[in-house]
Amino acid sequence: MNETNEQHHEQEIFFKVGVLAIRKNGLLKRIDADGFTTLAAIASFMNEDGVCYPTQETLADIMGVTRQAANARVGRLLKILLDDGTPIIERSWKYTGTNKRAVYRVNFACGIRMGRSVMSATFDSDSQFELRTPASKGDFTLCNGSGQEEELKDLKEEPIQEEPVIPIKYSDDMFEDEWNKFINRFQK
């Protein structure tokens, strides 16, 4: 690698929301926009087991609300149960001396998953940036509200209405004119 082309590798941690949790299990209807924002803020800290311990101040800052509003949103989210009767999130308390800290556990049955990906970013002297992420098995696996893997065939996409393609017959002169117009767009 030369001096003008520097390559950086970093590991990105992410969480995924299962499509079936939204489409079939009604996650968004169940928790509303504030609840989803709160769930996303909490999930952004969780480990592979769904456990995390962000402070109320941190959650408030991420959501752009006061600490009291963040606490109220967490309280509402704690009361919401899935169809199987389990809560979307659970909170326990960890005591350290005179302080106590909230420890949250995200219930994976709600359709939230944790993942990791190694990202490769390339920078060159022309200020061009290229980002490549390798696909993983998790990128192609769907999970239902119970955490069960589903086959991709179970996902029904809405049909795309496409206009019929009508072939155009070009003469050599027409083709050359179209080609020149196309090339000129990139040479400006």
CA-CA-CA-CA torsion sign (144, 146, 151, 154): negative
Please, which residues have CB within 8 angstroms of residue 63's CB and are 6 or more apart in sequence?
37, 38, 41, 69, 70, 73
The highest-level CATH class for domain 6-154 is: mainly alpha
Q: What is the domain partition of the chain in residue ranges?
A: 6-154
Find, among 66, 68, 18, 9, the residue nearest to 43 by Cα: 18
Percentage of the chain exceeding pLDDT 90: 32
pLDDT, tens only, 139-156: 434 444 444 444 444 444
Q: Which is more confident, 3 or 73? A: 73
CA-CA-CA-CA torsion sign (111, 113, 117, 119): positive
Per-residue model confidence (pLDDT) at position 161 = 58
- pLDDT at residue 181 tops 50: yes
